[in-house]
Amino acid sequence: MSETAPSHFIRQIIDRDLAEGRNDRVVTRFPPEPNGYLHIGHAKSICLNFGLAEDYGGVCHLRFDDTNPEKEEDEYIRAIQEDVRWLGFQWAGPVRYASDYFDQLYDYALELIDNGLAYVDQLTPEQIREYRGTLKQAGTPSPYRDRSSAENRELFEKMRAGEFAEGEAVLRAKIDMAASNMNLRDPVLYRVLHASHHQTGDQWCIYPMYDFTHPISDALEGVTHSLCTLEFEDHRPLYDWAIDNTSVPARPYQYEFARLNINYTVTSKRKLKRLVDEGHVDAWDDPRMPTICGFRRRGYTPASIRRFSEMVGVAKSDSVVDMGMLESAIRDDLNTNAPRAMCVLRPLRLVIENWPEGQEEMLTAPMHPQDESMGTREIPMTRELYIDQADFREEANKKFKRLVLNNKEVRLRYGYVIHAHDVVHDDDGEVVEVRCTYDPDTLGRDPEGEDRKVRGVIHWVSAPRSQPCELRLYDRLFTVPDPTRLEEGEDFLDYVNPESRVTLTGARVEENLAAPEPESRYQFEREGYFYVDPDSRDGAPVFNLTVGLRESWPRDA
C-alpha cells in the first residue's frame, strides 16, 4: 500500500481484516447499472474501489447490475467501460454481468424455497405495498405466506416458464413482517418481466431484484469488501440475510460510505436524463453535464478527478462539496501542465501607425513560464493587431490598468510598449479601431524617460496572422446551489442557468493553433484554460472553457 495514501475508516477495516486473517487479499467491485452515463459521484466510487484494490495489491471487478433490461442499453455499457479506462483504471479479468449468474441466482432462490425461506406471492403490487405496513405499524403477512415448499417451488418454476403475466406473481423472502427495518418485511426477490435482455435475449422472463442479486454476485466473485453509498445502509441486513441463508462459496461484507454531492448541479440519473431528453443540454457528454464524459469534453483530466476524489475523502455522513473544490483540482493540474497561448475573445482592431506596411517580426515567447522543457513559440508581430475590447477604454479612472486613449503607455505581451492616440467609431458610435504608435526601443526593456510609466500589459494576436476560432464559455448549469430543494409547484429545471454556455464565434487565436492536436489543453493567457472540442476541424478550431484562472463564484456560507 502507498505510504502517502490517505487514511479513512474503510482502510482501517481492510487493515484489520488482513491483520486478523479474515482475508488474504482485497477484492472489490464496481457494479454500475447500465441505464445511463456515469456522473462525478460514480467517479468517486470508481476511484475508491479501484484505488483500494491497487493500493493493497488486490483486484477490482467491473460488474454490470443488469437486472432491469427495460432501462438498459449497450450504449451505456460501452460508455461506462470507456469512463473507467479514461480515469486510468483496468478491471481484473473480463467484464462481468449480474446476468452471468442468472442460473446460479435461480438455484439459490430454489434453495431458499426448499428451506422454507421464500414463497410465491400472488397479491397485487398495490396489495403488497399495503400489507407492508408503515414505519409505525407492523406489516400484515400475505395469505400466500404459508404455502408449502413444494407448492412454492412448483409456482416459481411456472413463473420461469412464462405462465404468469407481469404483476401476477413474485417471489418473496420470508423474513419478518414486523421488522423495524422495512427492507426485511418479506422483500421481493424475483418479479415477472417479459422483456428481452441485452445479454441473455429471451432466455428469462423472471428477473432477480438488486437486493438479492448484489450479495450473491459478490459471493460468487469472491468479493471481500463490498463498498456502497449510504443509501444502502438499511439494505445491509438483507445483504447479510441472503449470504447467511444460502450456500454461497464466500462471505463478503458490505460497508457504506458517503456519496458525493456537489452544489450547483444534480446527479440523479432520472434528472440528468430529463436534461438530455428535454433539450436543456445537447447530450450526455455536454460539457455542462456532471457526467464523466461531460467533464472529459470540458477538458478535465483523469488526474484532476482522481485528485478531487482524494480531496473529498471517505466519510460516514453525507455532505455537499463546493464546486470550487473540483475546479481547484483541475486548475492546479493545468497550471502545471498546460502550454500557453494568446487568444482574443472579443477582437478590437489596433493599428500601429509607425510600423512599416508589410513588415513582420517574429517574437519569441515561452510555452510555459515555469517549465523551460516545454520550449518556446514564435508569434508574428504586424502593423495590424487584435486586442480584446475589454482592454481598451476611451476614458477610465486610475484603477483601469490597460490601454486608455491619450493616457499612459501599456506593453503588448512579449512585445513592445504602445500608446493610443486616436480611435475610429462606427455609425452607432462604437469603437471599431484603435490607432497607436509603438516605441521600437522597448522590446524586453522599459521605456526611457522619467515620466514614462507602463500602465499594464495586454495580450494580442496579429490581425493577418491569427486564426479565427469558436470559443464555448461554460458556467454552472444551475443558478442556485441546491436545485433539488424545491418549493411546492417548482421544478428543478426552473433553475437551469440560461448563461451556462456562451458561444463566441469571432475570437482569434495564435496561428499555430489553426489545427491543434485533438484533446489538447491550453492556458489562454489572462482568460482561462481551454480544451480542444471534438467539433474542431483543421482551420476551424473549437475550444471549450474548462475553468477560469481563478475562482469567480462566491462560496456558500
The cell for 425 is 467609431
User: Largest Cα–Cα distance of the chain, in whole Å?
Assistant: 104
Separation CA 277–CA 274 (nearest Å) = 5
Q: Is 353 a catalytic residue?
A: no
204 and 213 in contact (C-beta within 8 Å)?
no
The cell for 24 is 488474504
- Cβ contacts of 414 within 8 Å, gap of 6 or more: 363, 364, 365, 379
Tell me the one-letter amino acid at 182: M
Strands laid side by side in the 521-524 sheet: 340-341, 521-524, 528-532, 542-547, 466-474, 501-510, 343-344
Separation CA 91–CA 100 (nearest Å) = 17
Cα–Cα–Cα angle for 131, 136, 139, rounded to 5 degrees: 20
Tell me which residue has cell 462525478.
40
Q: Is 44 a catalytic residue?
A: no
Q: Where are the alpha helices (DSSP H) in 87-141?
A: 102-114, 125-131
Strand (E) or helix (H) holding 512: none
What pLDDT, on a 0 to 100 scale, did the predictor assign at position 315? 94
- Cβ contacts of 25 within 8 Å, gap of 6 or more: 56, 57, 58, 59, 224
Separation CA 254–CA 555 (nearest Å) = 35
In this chain, the answer to whether the domains covering 269-298+315-339+468-547 and 343-458 adopt an identical fold is: yes
Separation CA 484–CA 412 (nearest Å) = 47
What pLDDT, on a 0 to 100 scale, did the predictor assign at position 345? 98
The cell for 22 is 479474515
Each residue of 437-455: b (16+ CB within 10 Å) or e?
bbbeebbeeebeeeeeeeb
Integer CA distances (angstroms), 56 to 3, 5, 344, in order: 11, 11, 49
State the angle between helix axes of 102-114 and 210-221 in degrees (0 to 180), rounded to the nearest 10.
Answer: 110
Tell me the one-letter amino acid at 517: E
CATH number for the segment(s) 9-257: 3.40.50.620
Q: Which of 147, 172, 236, 259 is catalytic?
A: 259
76 and 95 in contact (C-beta within 8 Å)?
no
**Cα-Cα end-to-end distance for the chain:** 38
Q: Which of 11, 33, 154, 551 is catalytic?
A: 33
Q: DSSP E strands: which ranges in 346-479?
A: 347-352, 361-366, 376-381, 384-388, 392-393, 403-404, 409-412, 417-425, 431-439, 454-458, 460-462, 466-474
- pLDDT per residue rounded down to tens, the chain (557 residues): 545 567 899 999 999 999 999 999 999 999 999 999 999 999 999 999 999 999 999 999 999 999 999 999 999 999 999 999 999 999 999 999 999 999 999 999 999 999 999 999 999 999 999 999 999 999 999 999 999 999 999 999 999 999 999 999 999 999 999 999 999 999 999 999 999 999 999 999 999 999 999 999 999 999 999 999 999 999 999 999 999 999 999 999 999 999 999 999 999 999 999 999 999 999 999 999 999 999 999 999 999 999 999 999 999 998 899 999 999 999 999 999 999 999 999 999 999 999 999 999 999 999 999 999 999 999 999 999 999 999 999 999 989 999 999 988 999 999 999 999 999 999 999 999 999 999 999 999 988 877 788 999 999 999 999 999 999 999 999 999 999 999 999 999 999 999 999 999 999 999 999 999 999 999 999 999 999 999 999 889 999 999 999 876 555 43
What pLDDT, on a 0 to 100 scale, did the predictor assign at position 465? 97
What pLDDT, on a 0 to 100 scale, did the predictor assign at position 3? 53
3-class state of residue 9 by DSSP = helix
Separation CA 305–CA 318 (nearest Å) = 19
Tell me the CATH architecture of domain 269-298+315-339+468-547.
Beta Barrel (2.40)
Parse the chain into domains and list their residue ranges. 9-257, 269-298+315-339+468-547, 343-458
Q: Is 259 a catalytic residue?
A: yes
Separation CA 554–CA 542 (nearest Å) = 29
The residue length of the chain stands at: 557
Q: β-strand 340-341 against 521-524: which pairing, if any?
A: parallel
Number of H helices, E strands in the chain: 12, 29
438 and 355 in contact (C-beta within 8 Å)?
yes
Q: Which of 269, 307, 383, 508 is catalytic?
A: 269
CATH number for the segment(s) 343-458: 2.40.240.10
pTM score of the predicted model: 0.93
